[in-house]
Amino acid sequence: MSPTGQNPANAPQTGESIAADQNNFSAPPNGGHPHGKGQRGQRQQKRERRDVHGWVVLDKPVGMTSTQAVAVLKRLFNAKRVGHAGTLDPLASGGLPIALGEATKTVPFVMDGRKRYRFTVQWGEERDTDDSEGRPTQTSDARPTPEAIQAVLPQFSGTILQTPPQFSAIKIQGERAYDLARDGETVALQPREVEIHELILVDQPDSGHSVFEAECGKGTYVRALARDMGRLLGCYGHIVALRRTQCGPFDEADMIPLAELEALCDRAASGEGSLADALLPVETALDDIPALAVTRADAARLARGQAVLLRGRDAPILNGTVYVTVGGRLLALAELGNGELIPKRVFNLTGLVASPDRN
């Protein structure tokens, strides 16, 4: 579930050695076809998708849907498989982690991580979408003081019950809530528990606007926070600006603006660089999981889906999920218990991967 919810146009999408020339975003020499075919064969070859593995944390611009962002990345990398980890509304900007290839197997680890947002609430008006794109439903001349806002913040900390926005992707009898809301139906959404790790007031530029920062868990709607604070303060409110500054292990230092990514793509296409420089390794999403190195013999068994017994003095004293490496390369996600290592997801990283400098 998206922490910020989503608008109708923004449905979620779900998601050993590399040869040097596989890391270049360039066509075959002279545009030639390996089988000597003509122009038609060349066009077919250009359309053929390729294996790309890693993460790109797009600094999504306002106005772009998450689905559109995935389509752009798929085109830029000519990649076979692309998905994102945590939808952002078109209104929102900031970190949209996009998984390519085998990185899609690690999407749940990013989506389950904490998210951090900076957002601006406009007081005096509630809207049906809980953001500036909706229609006004309630108005008030009252404006909250910073002291009044500070006084209600403790009620939005820890584990709280939150009713999702009417315009959200939650399914009701097989229908998306936002589709029902667009058709004029009143959607009865049930409140559910969400985790708010931190909610702070960081600025009050004028009496009608307040700027907040929030760190929250999976399934939290920031739009609903603005709505509920406005109701509690008796002045109503909705979000007018929203930026995600952290998503799981990724923060602003990992983000790349779309224009910069497109420029890198153009340079790579002309042979002046590699799109591998834009990728973060697949295992970046697994920062909170212990890593376990195995021998090549054990790696061969795990790659075939077979369990491995780890014995002796050097056997790890661990239980639970680990990510397995061999020779410094990611091999598998596995469950370790009582000295037995059972592979759950095996990675095949043949193709374009992150540059060694990104590891």
Per-residue pLDDT tens for 307-326? Answer: 999 877 667 777 899 999 99
Task: Spot the catalytic one: 21, 51, 59, 89.
Answer: 89
Residue 3 reports pLDDT greater than 90: no
Flag the least confident range among 34-43, 47-56, 141-150.
34-43
- Range with the largest mean pLDDT of 45-49, 168-172, 229-233: 229-233
> What is the rounded average pLDDT of the residues 214-240?
95
Work out the burial of residue 135: count CB atoms within 10 Å of its CB; fewer than 13 is exposed, 13-18 middle, 19 or more buried: exposed
Mean pLDDT of the chain, nearest integer: 84
Q: How confident is the model at residue 107 (pLDDT cuts 50, 70, 90)?
A: very high
More confident residue, 349 or 29: 349
Confirm whether 89 is a catalytic residue: yes
Q: How confident is the model at residue 331 (pLDDT cuts 50, 70, 90)?
A: very high
Q: How confident is the model at residue 306 (pLDDT cuts 50, 70, 90)?
A: very high
C-beta of residue 87 within 8 angstroms of C-beta of residue 2: yes
Residue 272: what pLDDT? 87
Single-letter code of the amino acid located at 111: M
SS (H, E, C) 282-349: HHHHHCCCCEEECCHHHHHHHHCCCCEECCCCCCCCCCEEEEEEECCEEEEEEEEECCEEEEEEECCC
More confident residue, 18 or 117: 117
SS3 274: coil
More confident residue, 210 or 48: 210
C-beta of residue 129 within 8 angstroms of C-beta of residue 221: no
Taking the alpha carbons of 335, 341, 343, 349 in that order, is the dihedral positive or negative? positive
pTM: 0.80
Q: How confident is the model at residue 145 (pLDDT cuts 50, 70, 90)?
A: very high
Residue 173: what pLDDT? 52
Residue found under tokens 């809980």 = 130
Q: How confident is the model at residue 48 (pLDDT cuts 50, 70, 90)?
A: confident
Q: How confident is the model at residue 167 (pLDDT cuts 50, 70, 90)?
A: low
Single-letter code of the amino acid located at 352: L
SS3 266: helix
